[in-house]
C-alpha cells in the first residue's frame, strides 16, 4: 500500500466554524498512552512472574487479617470473607489469568493464521470448505462449547486454554485470509512462483512474514479478549480448577451481600483486569494503526 504522506494541513483553528471538512489522517506516532499501557502490562507480567519472590503475604493464608476488612496499611486492598489478603491474591491471581490468556491466544493465532493463509492462498474448493468451517465456528455459541467441553473433559490449564483458543480462531482466520489474498496478488509472489518455488515455500517464505507482522498488533487485542473470556469462565467456576484467577476472585465478591458489606473484594480484581485489558487494547490499537491494519470488529462480551 502506498506510504501515507504527511498531512498537508496542520492548522485547525479551534474557533473555526465546524463543518463537514473532516480529514482523518493516520497518526504515525505511538503516543504517550501507548508507552503507559506497555508499562502497565510489563508491571503486571513482572509481578505475576516474580510473585513467589515478592515480599507479599501468602495468598491462601486464611485469617491473615480480620475478615472483610477495608483497605489499610497492613492490607492495601483489604481482606476477603476468609480474611485473606486481597493485594497478594490479586498478584497471584494474575498468574492464572495471564497464563491461560496467553496460551490460548498463541494457539488461536497459530491455528487461525494457518487456516487463513491456506484458505486465501489456494482459494477455490479449499477456500470454500475452510470458509464454511469458519462460519460454522462463528455461528456455534462458543461459550456453550466451552461449557460442554470443560464440564465433560475437565478443568485443567491446557484444556481451558485450548478451548478458549477456539474463540479467536475464526476471526484470525478471516483476517489472515483477507491479507493473504491481498499479498498473493503482488508481484513478488508471482515472481517466486515463476521461479519454480513450491506452494509451501511460497506460503512460508513469502506470504507468512507479511501476514504475521500486521497480525502481531491484533495479538494484543486478542489477548485482552481471552483474558476476559477466562474471567467469565472462572466466574461460572468452570475455569482452571487449581489455584485461582481474577475471575474466581471476582465471583467470590459478587454476591449482593458481599457487595454491600465489602465491595473491595470484587472491585480490586475488577480494577486489575480492567486496567490490563485496557492497556492491551490501547497498545494493540495503536500498533494496528501504526501498521495500518483494518479494524477487526470483534465484539466484546
Partner 1 sequence: MTFLARRLAFMLGVLLVTTFVAYTAMNALGDPLFNVVGFYTQVDCDAVIAGEAEDVVGTRPGSSLGECELVAEAREKYHLDDPLPVRYVRWIGAMVQGDFGESFKNYMPVSTILAERLPKSLLLMGMSVTVALVVSIPWAVAAAYRANRRLDRASTALSFGLLSIPGFALAIILMYFFVVRWEVFPSRFEDDDLFSRLRSLTLASLTLGLPLSAVYQRLLRTDLITTLQEDFVVTAKAKGLSDRRIMFRHVLRPSLFGMVTVVGLNTAALFAGSIIIEQIFSIPGIGRELYVSIVRDDNPVVLACVVIIVTAFVLINTAVDLLYSYLDPRVRRDA
Partner 2 sequence: MAGPLLRVQDLRVGFRTEQGKVRAVDGVSFDLEEGQTIGIVGESGSGKSVTAKALMNLLPSYAQIQGAAHFDGRDVFAMAANREKHFWGVEMTMVFQDPMTSLNPVKKVGEQIAESLRVHLKKGRREALVEAGDLLEQVGIPEPGKRLSQYPHELSGGMRQRVVIAMALACSPRLLIADEPTTALDVTVQKHILDLLDDLRRARGMAMILITHDLGVVRGRADEVMVMYAGHTMEEAPTDTLFAEMRHPYTEALLETIPRIDTPSHTRLVPIPGRPPEVIDVLEGCPFAPRCRYSVTECLTDRPGLTSHGAGHLCACHAPAGTQVGKEARAGNEAAGTTAAGLDMEQFARRVPIADLNRPGGEG
Q: Where along the sequence are the contacts to partner 2 (CB under 8 A)?
A: 6, 8-13, 16-19, 21, 23
Determine which residue in the list 36, 50, 138, 204 makes contact with partner 1, applying CB under 8 A: 138
If binding means CB under 8 A, how many residues of this protein chain bind partner 1? Answer: 55
Distance CA 272, CA 276 (A): 6
Site for partner 1 contains 143 (CB under 8 A)? yes
Site for partner 1 contains 178 (CB under 8 A)? no
Site for partner 1 contains 158 (CB under 8 A)? no
Give the residue with the Cβ less far from partner 2, 7 or 156. 7
**Pick from 29, 83, 21, 36: nearest CA to 58:** 83
DSSP 242: S
Give the residue with the Cβ less far from partner 2, 19 or 256. 19
Q: Pick from partner 2, partner 1, none: which does 11 bind, CB < 5 to 8 A by kind? A: partner 2
**Shortest spacing between CB 233 and partner 1, in angstroms:** 9
Site for partner 1 contains 55 (CB under 8 A)? no
Which stretches of 35-188 are assigned E, i.e. beta strand? none
134, 168, 290 from 283: Cα distances, Å: 27, 18, 10
Distance CA 105, CA 194 (A): 36
**Pick from 180, 206, 57: nearest CA to 127:** 180
**Pick from 169, 193, 195, 173: nearest CA to 120:** 173
Give the residue with the Cβ less far from partner 2, 7 or 154. 7
**Shortest spacing between CB 124 and partner 1, in angstroms:** 17
Site for partner 1 contains 222 (CB under 8 A)? no
Tell me whether residue 283 is exposed, middle or buried, using C-beta atoms within 10 angstroms of its C-beta: 0 to 12, 13 to 18, 19 or more.
buried
Give the residue with the Cβ less far from partner 1, 7 or 209. 7
- Listed ranges 38-46, 52-60, 86-94, 260-268: which one lies at the site for partner 1 (CB under 8 A): 260-268
Give the residue with the Cβ less far from partner 2, 16 or 194. 16
- Pure H helices in 154-263: 157-184, 187-194, 199-201, 208-235, 246-253, 256-261
Check: CB of residue 166 under 8 Å from CB of residue 137. yes
Q: Apex CA 91: angle with CA 85 and CA 96, to 5°?
A: 115
**Shortest spacing between CB 197 and partner 1, in angstroms:** 35
The residues of the shown chain that bind partner 1, judged by CB under 8 A, are 12, 14, 18-20, 22-25, 132, 135-136, 138-145, 147-149, 151-153, 224, 228, 231-232, 235-236, 247, 250, 253-254, 256, 259-260, 263, 266-267, 270, 273-274, 277-278, 281-282, 285, 295, 297, 299-301
Amino acid at each position: 500500500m502506498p506510504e501515507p504522506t504527511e498531512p498537508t494541513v496542520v492548522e485547525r483553528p479551534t474557533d473555526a466554524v465546524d463543518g463537514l471538512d473532516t480529514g482523518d489522517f493516520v497518526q504515525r506516532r505511538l503516543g504517550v498512552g501507548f508507552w503507559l499501557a506497555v508499562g502497565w502490562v510489563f508491571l503486571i507480567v513482572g509481578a505475576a512472574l516474580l510473585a513467589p519472590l515478592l515480599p507479599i503475604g501468602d495468598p491462601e493464608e486464611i485469617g491473615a487479617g480480620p475478615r472483610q476488612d477495608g483497605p489499610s496499611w497492613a492490607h492495601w486492598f483489604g481482606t476477603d470473607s476468609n480474611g485473606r489478603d486481597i493485594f497478594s491474591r490479586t498478584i497471584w491471581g494474575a498468574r492464572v489469568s495471564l497464563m491461560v490468556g496467553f496460551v490460548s491466544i498463541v494457539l488461536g493465532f497459530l491455528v487461525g493464521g494457518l487456516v487463513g493463509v491456506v484458505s486465501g492462498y489456494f482459494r477455490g474448493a479449499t477456500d470454500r470448505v475452510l470458509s464454511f468451517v469458519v462460519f460454522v465456528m462463528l455461528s456455534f455459541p462458543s461459550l456453550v462449547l466451552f461449557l460442554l467441553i470443560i464440564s465433560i473433559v475437565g478443568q485443567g490449564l491446557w484444556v481451558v486454554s485450548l478451548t478458549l483458543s477456539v474463540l479467536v480462531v475464526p476471526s484470525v482466520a478471516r483476517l489472515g485470509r483477507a491479507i493473504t489474498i491481498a499479498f498473493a496478488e503482488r508481484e513478488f509472489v508471482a515472481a517466486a512462483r515463476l521461479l519454480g518455488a513450491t506452494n509451501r515455500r511460497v506460503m512460508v517464505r513469502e506470504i507468512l512474514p507479511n501476514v504475521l507482522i500486521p497480525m502481531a498488533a491484533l495479538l494484543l487485542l486478542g489477548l485482552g479478549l481471552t483474558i476476559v473470556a477466562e474471567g467469565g469462565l472462572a466466574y461460572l467456576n468452570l475455569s482452571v480448577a487449581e489455584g485461582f484467577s481474577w475471575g474466581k476472585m471476582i465471583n467470590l465478591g459478587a454476591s449482593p451481600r458481599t457487595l454491600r458489606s465489602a465491595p473491595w473484594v470484587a472491585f480490586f480484581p475488577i480494577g486489575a483486569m480492567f486496567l490490563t485489558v485496557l492497556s492491551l487494547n490501547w497498545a494493540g490499537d495503536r500498533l494496528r494503526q501504526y501498521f495500518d491494519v483494518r479494524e477487526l470488529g470483534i465484539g466484546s462480551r
